[in-house]
Amino acid sequence: MRSFVAITPPDMVREALLRVQETLPIGRPVPGENLHLTLAFLDDQPEQLLRDLHEELAEVPAGAFDLELAGLGAFGGAAPRILFAQVGPSDALDRLHRAVVAAARRVGISLPRERFRPHITLIRFPGRLSSLSQRQLRGFLDTHATTQLPGFTVQDFTLFHSTLHRGGARHEELASYDLREIPLTI
């Protein structure tokens, strides 16, 4: 079962991100219901491993925290693949990411060791962009890279099942985990 763990932005933030999508006439916008910040992409996993992971994620010791969005960017260098909303630095987000990855590894899910680059994908670009589309994207980023986007309080995270279809992916929530305060141990 293709799956991932993510944070979903609240409606107010989602609406602001959808307005950004509307201003760039190239690429394939990510549907509003699919906007998320991936904590760990798990790839295809057996259902039993996901049940085991569910038990581990339910015990992740983390409290709610504020998250800032810090403008827009593109991944892919000269051949951009996606336009994204950047996420500002957050120790709490980094800790949550590490806790989710550790939980996945404890149940036997093998994850690559790669740098965590928190972002919310807004638009996907198919294959190679035409020179006109590349100019449009560069102009868009020159003008909008520092766009002010609303931040939000992260109060939960979600384990999703993702199914690929011709029109894009469909994400189904398998379980959601409230972030709670870490008990004081002194």
Token code pair at residue 83: 């336009």
Catalytic annotation on 144? no
Q: For residue 153, count CB atoms less than 10 angstroms from its CB and return exposed for 0-12, middle for 13-18, buried for 19 or more.
A: exposed
Note the helical H segments in 5-84.
11-22, 47-57
User: Is 36 one of the catalytic residues?
Assistant: yes
* Residue 158 contacts residue 37 (beta carbons within 8 Å): no
Measuring CA to CA, which residue among 25, 161, 30 is closest to residue 84? 30
Which of 36, 54, 97, 144 is the catalytic position?
A: 36
Catalytic pick among 54, 119, 144, 161: 119
H or E element at residue 101: helix 91-106
Catalytic residue ranges: 36, 119
